[in-house]
Amino acid sequence: MIDLHTHTVFSDGELIPAELVRRAEVAGYTAVAITDHADMTNLAHIIQSVRRLTESSSHFFGIDVFAGVELTHLPPALIPKYVAEARECGAKLVVMHGETVVEPVAAGTNLAAIEAGVDILAHPGLITEQEVRLAVEKGVALELTTRKGHSLTNGHVAALAVRFGARLVINNDAHGPGDLVSRELRRAAALGAGLSEGEWAGAESNSRDLVQRMLAR
């Protein structure tokens, strides 16, 4: 299992990074990306701090750890600037906090994030056909999430992704140890969103592909 969307005490998570990684390892995960909420005020600090952990990740037996960010509640016009800045600061993965239906994310966030070439558009809510088509063109992965509230639109996201051939990934959006769900629950979330067994396997394979891309960066 792989979770490419997690949070620590650097934003609204419950655990320090080392404990999150250890708990993920014990729960059966082989890779995690730490993607705390970031805007222009804390972007560099988060990435630099988490990179100190990733430099010691060989001590976390059997698990790969990556420093990333989840850009959150940025004005859409500023998203390209801070996607570029995150990469310049050393983020291996850039996630964008999409237009989930349970939070007041600015309209236009999904489109701006896809145009800027983020790696993953998290919980994109009622994403449009146009945006999904662009995600295919840009190679942006769309997230199916196991997180309460954000998962309300998983079925919509999955249906459009399958229809237009967009890449899907399954993430927990983990904020605490209880969010590191089992393989069985990940599968249930995928099938409950309308994916077939093969499409679920494909989504998990997409996460592995992203890990390989990060290892090469």
Does 49 or 55 have the greater pLDDT score? 49
For residues 168 and 206, is the Cβ–Cβ distance under 8 A?
yes
Q: What average pLDDT does range 80-89 have in this prediction? A: 98
167, two tokens = 């890449």
Residue among 87, 88, 120, 110 at smallest CA distance from 5? 120
Q: Please, what is the average pLDDT of the chain?
A: 96
Q: Domain 2-216 sits in which CATH superfamily?
A: Metal-dependent hydrolases (3.20.20.140)
Whether the pTM exceeds 0.95: the reply is yes
Q: Is the dihedral of CA 187, 189, 192, 193 positive or negative?
A: negative
Q: Is the dihedral of CA 175, 128, 157, 114 positive or negative?
A: negative
177, two tokens = 């140890």
Which residues does residue 96 pair with via DSSP β-bridges, in sequence order? Answer: 71, 121
Q: What average pLDDT does range 195-215 have in this prediction? A: 97
Beta strands in 20-92 (DSSP E): 31-34, 37-38, 64-71
Q: What is the DSSP string of 103-137?
A: S-PPTTHHHHHHHHT-SEEES--S--HHHHHHHHH
Helix (H) and strand (E) counts for the chain? 8, 8
The Cα–Cα gap between 18 and 217 comes to 22
CA dihedral 124, 127, 132, 134 (to 10 degrees): -90
For residue range 142-192, list pLDDT tens digits in order: 999 999 999 999 999 999 999 999 999 999 999 999 999 999 999 999 999
Radius of gyration of the chain (CA): 16
For residue range 10-37, list pLDDT tens digits in order: 999 999 999 999 999 999 999 999 999 9
